[in-house]
Amino acid sequence: MFEGRLGGPGGLVSHRRQQQIRTVSLYLTAFLVSVFVLTPLYMMVVVSFQSPETLFSGGTLTLVPSALSLSNFQTLLAETDTVQYFLNSVLITAGVVVLSTTLSVVSGYGLTRFDFGGKRLVARVVLFSYMVSPIVLAVPLYIIFFNFGLLNSYVAAVLSITAIAAPFSIWLMWQYFQNVPIAYEESAWASGASRWRTVRDVVLPLARPGYISVAIFSFAVAWNDYTMVKVVLSDQSMYPITLGSSLFLDRLFVGWGEQMAVSVLISGPPFLIALFLQNYLLQGFNLGHE
Amino acid sequence: MSTIRERAPLAGHLDSARLFLLAALVPLGLFFTLLWFGPVVYTVVVSFFANPLGEAQFVAVGNYVGILLSETFWLFLQNSVVFAVSTTLLSLVVGLGFALVVDERVAGRDTLRTLMIFPYLLPTVVVVYLWTLLLDQNLGLVNRILAETGLITDPIAFFATVELAMPSIVVASVWKWGSFAFFILLANLQAIPDAYYERAKVHGASPYQQFRDVTFPHLRGAILLILLVRGIWMFNKFDIIWLTTRGGPVNVTTTLPIDIYDRTIRAGAFGEGAALATIMFLLLAVVGVVYFLVLTPEAEVTD
């Protein structure tokens, strides 16, 4: 099993040498990947917290600042619609999280507890819908919303983002409910609890880690979304921050300082999730989130 | 004693129980009918018409013939494949390298792991802003480093140079989506029992042989999953390409999703756009069949 040309007694590279190479390459990889991941993040923070005067004081971007300032954030608040865009983001994201989480909890429960043929087909439909390009779905949704007079509304934004967020949520809840034994429900029924009370008092508390994960992933999809809102919204007063901030790139009074400042603001909520709720996230990753 | 009931849950229960559960499946049915089957069927129907939003004219497969005979379609398909394959393979290499590191008991491994979550959670627009600044011709850090080390004399406009636009988007994409491969591989690495490595050492296996004979065989399924699923998702990407290059310069970064957006929302040619969307849908269906046959992912909920 373990013989080979490279190692072993008389191999091309001795064991000790391989061990050394291994240790060096481990630390080298750790270093290189850390630099690759951290440099853009460092630059974002450092640029955002400097006034234009200090930022360009050396003729190029100052990356080791001597003085920090909130002037970029003040410019954003005073001269752009950042606050309005942020409120739109919160509104649309909240809509998607509520709709997608509710749908997946109800569906996950039904799919695991109801016995019917064709579960395999349903599973494949859910998984396949998760692989379809958002833009392929966005175009017909655009036409359909157009026909129903829903184009350019919060409803259109929430529905179209839910369309891409829900398949994974349903998949995750379906898997989750499989591990919630039905025995608990049956003993509740046996002691005379109604079906609805059983769901509320027994099933939902047991499923809590599952729907927290689902809510986080729906949040991430909605907060991230650019494609769907780009297609279904045209009124700038409804733009979420992702779409709204992309307009800044074309404006003269918005420089790199403001652009990095808005990036910091957009990154705030995901950053908090990564810090405090990462275990729920990791669980979802292992079930295959996009 | 309750094994029989567990094997056939609710089979013998009252009709009200079945109604309750049936009601739980209604939202699912509505969701897929209204937001998936409806739009997909509608797309296929529309793809046989010219000017479907105005005075629709039935043109049979005219839209398809037009697309398949155009040179741009094959170029854009090629761009899509190049983008999908290169981002996926690079993510796999970076993710595997870093997963092997974090799987070792190196100092600060939890910090390294948390670090990898950030790029993944940052919205694509933010990733685009960061890399636009990093690769900026006048102020970008990359140009500064290249100039100071003497590798270049004139600063490079990465996203506007024909040869470099695609590689630049690939690097930014790996930065954002590389963590997907990392987390899946890490989970699989951590599931390999230590005893396997100890037995290998007893047999005198070198680090390379341990990787080849113990580690790699356990990662094969995960690697296949990453190649297939990450590949499909990258093939589908619209936002990162649109925000960095709009498909330019001279179409070198135009992929099929960009072309669909250009034809429909920008140019208003919904018939052609729908035909293109249907073609993309069929391409994905082929990969989807491979995915279902090779990895049988649905077994996780039906077995």
The verdict on B23 and B73 lying in the same domain is no
Cβ distance A110 to B25 less than 8 Å, yes or no, reads: yes
Tokens 């990662």 sit on residue: B219
- Residue B244 in this model has a pLDDT that exceeds 70: yes
In the prediction, which pLDDT does B11 show? 46
Interface test with A, best of B190, B238, B256 (most A CBs within 10 A): B238
Identify all chain B residues contacting A174, using CB atoms and an 8 Å cutoff. Answer: 301
Average pLDDT over residues B159-170: 94
- B111 domain-assigned: yes
Cβ distance B280 to A146 less than 8 Å, yes or no, reads: no
The verdict on B134 and B214 lying in the same domain is yes
The verdict on B25 and B146 lying in the same domain is no
Which of A22, A256, A271 faces B139 most closely, judged by CB atoms? Answer: A256
- CA within 13 Å, CB half, A253: 8
Every domain of chain A and the residues it spans: 1-40, 49-76, 80-286
Give the burial class of B210: count Cβ atoms within 10 A of its Cβ; 0-12 exposed, 13-18 middle, 19 or more buried. Answer: buried
- B7 domain-assigned: no
Summarize pLDDT for A92-123 with one digit per residue, the tens. Answer: 999 999 999 999 999 999 998 887 888 888 98
The verdict on B78 and B221 lying in the same domain is yes
- Residue A70 in this model has a pLDDT that exceeds 70: yes
The verdict on B103 and B245 lying in the same domain is yes
Average pLDDT over residues A171-192: 85
Nearest CA in chain B to A1: B213
Angular region, B108: left φ>0, alpha ψ -120 to 50, beta rest: left
Nearest CA in chain A to B124: A224
Identify all chain A residues contacting B33, using CB atoms and an 8 Å cutoff. Answer: none
Where is pLDDT greater, at B7 or A37?
A37
Where is pLDDT greater, at A280 or A261?
A261
**Spatial CB neighbours of B67, under 8 Å, sequence gap ≥ 6:** B73, B272, B275, B276, B279
Interface test with A, best of B76, B254, B301, B303 (most A CBs within 10 A): B301
Q: How confident is the model at residue A41 (pLDDT cuts 50, 70, 90)?
A: very high
The verdict on B77 and B52 lying in the same domain is no
Summarize pLDDT for B207-216 with one digit per residue, the tens. Answer: 888 888 899 9
**Domain A80-286 sits in which CATH superfamily?**
MetI-like (1.10.3720.10)
B49 close to B271: Cβ distance less than 8 angstroms: yes
The verdict on B124 and B239 lying in the same domain is yes
- Residue A187 in this model has a pLDDT that exceeds 70: yes
Which two tokens mark A219?
């949040």
- Residue B13 in this model has a pLDDT that exceeds 60: no
Q: Which of A215, A198, A218 shows the shortest CA–CA distance to A290? A: A218
Interface test with B, best of A105, A129, A136 (most B CBs within 10 A): A136
Q: What is the mean pLDDT of chain B?
A: 87
In the prediction, which pLDDT does B135 show? 94
- Residue B125 in this model has a pLDDT that exceeds 90: yes
- B3 domain-assigned: no
Average pLDDT over residues B224-236: 90
In the prediction, which pLDDT does B172 show? 96
The verdict on B169 and B196 lying in the same domain is yes
- Residue B134 in this model has a pLDDT that exceeds 90: yes
The verdict on B86 and B174 lying in the same domain is yes
The CATH number of the domain where B169 resides is what?
A: 1.10.3720.10
Cβ distance B260 to A224 less than 8 Å, yes or no, reads: no
- Residue B189 in this model has a pLDDT that exceeds 50: yes
- B43 domain-assigned: yes
Where is pLDDT greater, at B300 or B139?
B139
The verdict on B24 and B169 lying in the same domain is no
What is the percent of chain B where pLDDT is above 70? 95
**How many domains does chain B fold into?**
2
Nearest CA in chain A to B173: A37
Reported ipTM exceeds the 0.90 cut: no
- B6 domain-assigned: no
The verdict on B201 and B285 lying in the same domain is yes
Q: Domain containing B234: what range?
A: 67-302
The verdict on B29 and B99 lying in the same domain is no
Summarize pLDDT for B82-122 with one digit per residue, the tens. Answer: 999 999 999 999 999 889 888 887 777 788 888 888 888 89
**Spatial CB neighbours of B164, under 8 Å, sequence gap ≥ 6:** B156, B158
Where is pLDDT greater, at A163 or B297?
A163
Q: What is the mean pLDDT of chain A?
A: 86
